[in-house]
Structure 1
Amino acid sequence: MEFEERLAALATKVHNQRQAIQTEEATKNAFVMPFISTILGYDVFNPLEVVPEFTADVGVKRGEKVDYAIMRDGEVQILIECKKSTEPLKIEHASQLFRYFSVTNARIAVLTNGEVYNFYTDLDAPNKMDDRPFLVLDLADIDETLLPELSKLTKDVFDLDSVISAAEELKYVGALKRAIAVQFREPEEDFVRLFASRVYEGRFTQEARSQFTTLVAKASKQFLNEQVNDRLKTALGASYTAPIEQATSVEALSSELVVEEDIDRDTEIETTPEELEGYQIVKAIACSEVKPERIVHRDQKSYFAILLDNNNRKPIARLWFNGKKQKYIGLFDEDKVETRHPIESLEDIYLHADALRVSVSRLR
């Protein structure tokens, strides 16, 4: 299984089990140890590679422990501190990492709750762990641009120098991307004022601020949507316009009757970021059964199709997201008859993970 596939499989496991994990110890056993072993490639049962409850005396602090130390050639390279999965990470949780970082040879420190992994180094001052991570891996929303750097910390291709040299750019680019994402979701006054000043010459009153807060948020979403569609037009050579509204009744349909008719109907189609995000979730689930490159999508006038081997006779699922209110995921039985299941959010797709795996296994 490839690196990306293993990461996607672990992400699915974390999503499905996170609410059942209530303690730090359970988080380590269920999520963090699999991350160290299946993602980074170290043997968690070999003390020459992974030392649990690693102890190093720090000044007057005696007997304090950090959860894991990853070793190479007898030296500590990575320190990992864990918190329980139900708690968000805070820099206050990293007190042991700060102390241990200065008294070991480690250049990488990781603070995690099993779902989010914050990677730190010492860019600001030598042998002193930075306050801000240079890389943030969120298994609920994996940023694929980070995976090449993450892979450099794996046992087989460990390249610490390369990671450190790229860390400063990663740190600030990552922080900027997260800041931009926040502004696109809920623009703050300074952000709104910046763009309003480019198009509006009147006084920035309370009324104007309220109006432009809505307008900036709307323009940001439309801009992102247009960028995605432009990329798709270039890649597919297809023509995209506005989507039509889809009926919202739950019904069973024969895949064979309708798929072939609308494969070539690519007019009046708009592929939305939400459809692409849903596709990535289905792909992450399905890649436990097949290689991810075999899973493709085709956007249709009424629905968003997810296929195996780019073959319309091998439908994995359909996303019915064109309706203004209710969304559905369409799943197929062994006779390729589709049943639509209502979903309230994209995360509800994970509720159908077992059915999706069965469907893919049947088609492969």
Structure 2
Amino acid sequence: MEFEDKIKIFSSKINEKLEHIETEETTKTALILPFLKEVMGYDTTDPSEVKAEYTADIGAKKGEKIDLAILNSGSEIMLIECKTLGITLDKKHISQLYRYFNITDSELGILTNGLIYQFYTDSIKPGKMDKSPFLEINLLDLSEKDIIELKKFSKEQFDISKIKTRVDNLKYAHDIHQILSTEIDSPSDDLVRLFTKQVYDGTVTANVKNKFYKIIKNEFKEVIDEKVESRLNEALGRTNSELPLEVDDDEIITTPEEFEGYYIVKSIVSRIVDPDRIFIRDTKSYCSVLLDDNNHYPIIRLYFNNPRNLKIGLFDDFEKYNSGGRKTSMYPLKNLKELYGYEENMLKTVEVHLKEIKQKKRAKKNKK
């Protein structure tokens, strides 16, 4: 399974665990260790690779412990300090990680509460951990860029030299991103003056500054909206000259709820079938999750166009219409988590499809 699929499937299953996690130890066993194993590819059952309560006595420092250490040939490559789910990670939580980082050979430290992962290194002074992270990942709010960066820390991709060459760019990008976000929401006096002087020849009085503050803030929004619209048009494979004169209001758009539902279904049925065989196919009326990208092997239909009226179509009785299509049984959902209540239905449907595929292959082989 591709890394991208692993992280998205793992992320889709997090919400069902959240209400049951109240301690640091549960956070570690329910979220952090499974993440390291299922997504990042580290063997959490092998203490020579992932060690809990890792201790190293160096010089005058005795009994220093870190929650988790990822090792390679006995050397620390990543140190992980775990905190309880829900805790806001800040400077007061990095003290132990900071101390331990500074007395070991590790060049990477991670502070996490199971959802947020902050990555630290020693970019300013070798051997001394930076006070701010160079990368921060939220597993419930992943961008494609986050996934690309996170993949570099997986067991398969890990290369400390390549990671460290990216640290400066990531760190500065993170800080500049924060500055730009703040400026877009509330332009600073310096920025207002900078822009105003480029278009206004008079004296920048308080009234002029207030006037241009509103103009600049509004134009930020306009530029962003234009960029978003442009990217959407590119994604649809169109240029403005190719757009039809009339836009169909019923144009097929796969919603975030449909994608999330797809990943939930994929995580469920992956117990009995290769997840690479599970596909999503959208229509105007519903979104199908199919085995082998084949309409003859539907697993579930997601009627999620209206988020306030979620419904699913299941194939419980395995009956077919005269046309050959499979009959569905409709069920309402209060939220996407309720999909897990229909695991048995979906698994049974996949089993029936797999059996039918096997029979067809056998019959085809016998004809030969």
Higher radius of gyration, 1 or 2:
2
Rate the CA distance shift 1:269–1:162 in 2: closer, same or farther, 3 A: farther
Rate the CA distance shift 1:236–1:220 in 2: closer, same or farther, 3 A: closer
Rate the CA distance shift 1:240–1:31 in 2: closer, same or farther, 3 A: farther
Q: State the partner residue of 1:112.
A: 112
User: Cα deviation per residue 1:179-211 (whole Å; 9 max; x = unaligned)?
Assistant: 656766xx1233995898599979457687568
Q: State the partner residue of 1:222.
A: 225
Q: Size of the alignment, in residue pairs?
A: 325
Among 249, 255, 274, the alignment partner of 1:268 is: 249
Q: State the partner residue of 1:144.
A: 144
Give the alignment's TM-score, normalised by structure 1. 0.72
Residue 22 of structure 1 and its aligned partner are, at CA, apart by 0.6
Alignment of 1:1-364 (within 5 A): 1-57=1-57, 62-177=62-177, 187-190=185-188, 193=192, 203-204=207-208, 215=218, 219=222, 222-223=225-226, 225-234=228-237, 267-269=248-250, 276-288=255-267, 289=269, 291=275, 294-298=278-282, 300=284, 305-308=287-290, 314=298, 316-321=301-306, 327-334=308-315, 335-339=327-331, 341=333, 348-355=335-342, 358-359=345-346, 362=349
Q: SS of the residue aligned with 2:302?
A: strand
In structure 2, C-alpha distance between the alignment counterparts of 1:276 and 1:179, rounded to whole Å:
31
User: Cα deviation per residue 1:127-168 (whole Å; 9 max; x = unaligned)?
Assistant: 111222222221101223233443333334432211122222
Rate the CA distance shift 1:149–1:229 in 2: closer, same or farther, 3 A: closer
Rate the CA distance shift 1:78–1:299 in 2: closer, same or farther, 3 A: same
In structure 1, C-alpha distance between the alignment counterparts of 2:49 and 2:244, rounded to whole Å:
52
Rate the CA distance shift 1:271–1:178 in 2: closer, same or farther, 3 A: farther
Does the 8 Å contact 2:16/2:337 carry over to 1?
yes
Residue 56 of structure 1 and its aligned partner are, at CA, apart by 3.1
In structure 1, C-alpha distance between the alignment counterparts of 2:117 and 2:277, rounded to whole Å:
26
Rate the CA distance shift 1:294–1:352 in 2: closer, same or farther, 3 A: closer
Q: SS of the residue aligned with 2:14?
A: helix
Does the 8 Å contact 2:64/2:100 carry over to 1?
no
Residue 78 of structure 1 and its aligned partner are, at CA, apart by 0.6
Residue 355 of structure 1 and its aligned partner are, at CA, apart by 3.8
Give the alignment's TM-score, normalised by structure 2. 0.72
Q: Which fold has the larger relative contact order, with Cα–Cα distance below 8 Å and residues 6 or more apart in sequence?
A: 1
In structure 2, C-alpha distance between the alignment counterparts of 1:27 and 1:103, rounded to whole Å:
26
Q: SS of the residue aligned with 2:130?
A: coil
Q: SS of the residue aligned with 1:145?
A: helix
Rate the CA distance shift 1:66–1:350 in 2: closer, same or farther, 3 A: same
Q: SS of the residue aligned with 1:234?
A: coil
Residue 53 of structure 1 and its aligned partner are, at CA, apart by 0.9
In structure 2, C-alpha distance between the alignment counterparts of 1:283 and 1:194, rounded to whole Å:
49
Q: SS of the residue aligned with 1:20?
A: coil
Identity %: 26
Query: Amino acid of the residue matched to residue 233 of structure 1?
Result: L
Query: Amino acid of the residue matched to residue 159 of structure 2?
Result: D
Rate the CA distance shift 1:28–1:171 in 2: closer, same or farther, 3 A: same
Q: CA RMSD in A?
A: 4.0
